[in-house]
Amino acid sequence: MPKLGVNIDHVATLRQARYAGLLDAPNCEPNILAAASACERAGAQGITIHLRADRRHIQDQDVFRLRSSIITKLNLELGNSSDILETALTVLPDDVCLVPENRLEVTTEGGLDVAKNAKALRRTVERLHAAGIRVSMFIEPMADQINASADLGVEAVELHTGAYANAAPTFREDEIERLRAAANLARERGLVVNAGHGINYDNIKELLSIKGWNEFNIGHSIVSRALFTGLEGAVREMIRLIEGNNS
């Protein structure tokens, strides 16, 4: 059964809209530790956060506080940046997912080009492994990216599902087949296969037709649903869909 990792970046986005630079203020809200705890109580098997170079949502102290407070696992997304790598090596999250980063993007726009940047990524992967951290690459569902990731010795890939999520209905099946082929190749190369980006309460159903997923990392859709159902309710609803219980 695929696991659910909840990305709580956008809880921090809401907080930063009012309390940027005031994280220790007594009225600072929403509390990101409380959000992570609610996700775990509802059954999430991991908490995902992205520490961006521009610190637009998650802040360094969030990473340290979450590391010491959550009871499941911490999946830290980061670009291949030396200062953020040093933070990861200090915090020691369970997993690190290396992602591309563009300061002008609203959110991560595509997969990391591992094939093109393998030389620069190798040393980062080696340092993370030396610290006992599992490494994943956030990539497009393409054979060259999967093979390059496997050749670097990482444990997992997270397939970027954005093209599928944004596809017109007439092209959605093509994207499903592209993801299926990529997932099969990744498993053949000995990689754990995760998925993320743009997954919501409707389109996850077709993704579940692909066998062998290890984990879905979902954030925006869950935080959006939480405005109407509460965070625990939103997480439980997604878990029911993943488990095949649509009632």
Query: Where exactly are the structural domains of the chain?
Result: 3-136+200-242
In whole angstroms, what is the distance from residue 84 CA to residue 237 CA?
33
Rg of the chain in Å (alpha carbons): 17
**Which DSSP state fits 21?**
T
In whole angstroms, what is the distance from residue 217 CA to residue 195 CA?
6
Instruction: Catalytic residue, from 10, 57, 160, 197: name it.
Output: 197
Instruction: Catalytic residue, from 40, 77, 215, 237: name it.
Output: 77
Q: Is the pTM of this model over 0.85?
A: yes
Is 77 marked active-site? yes
Residue of 88, 85, 150 lying closest to 114 (CA atoms): 150
Contact 206, 198 (CB under 8 A): no
- Show pLDDT as tens, one digit a residue, over the chain (247 residues): 899 999 999 999 999 999 888 888 888 899 999 999 999 999 999 999 999 999 999 999 999 999 999 999 999 999 999 999 999 999 999 999 999 976 544 455 678 999 999 999 999 999 999 999 999 999 999 999 999 999 999 999 999 999 999 998 888 999 999 999 999 999 999 999 999 999 999 999 999 999 999 999 999 999 999 999 999 999 999 999 999 855 4
Say which CATH superfamily domain 3-136+200-242 falls into: Aldolase class I (3.20.20.70)
Residue of 113, 120, 173 lying closest to 148 (CA atoms): 113
Is 126 marked active-site? no
In whole angstroms, what is the distance from residue 62 CA to residue 70 CA?
12
CA atoms 235, 237, 238, 244: torsion sign: positive
Is 220 marked active-site? no
Instruction: Catalytic residue, from 50, 140, 158, 215: name it.
Output: 50
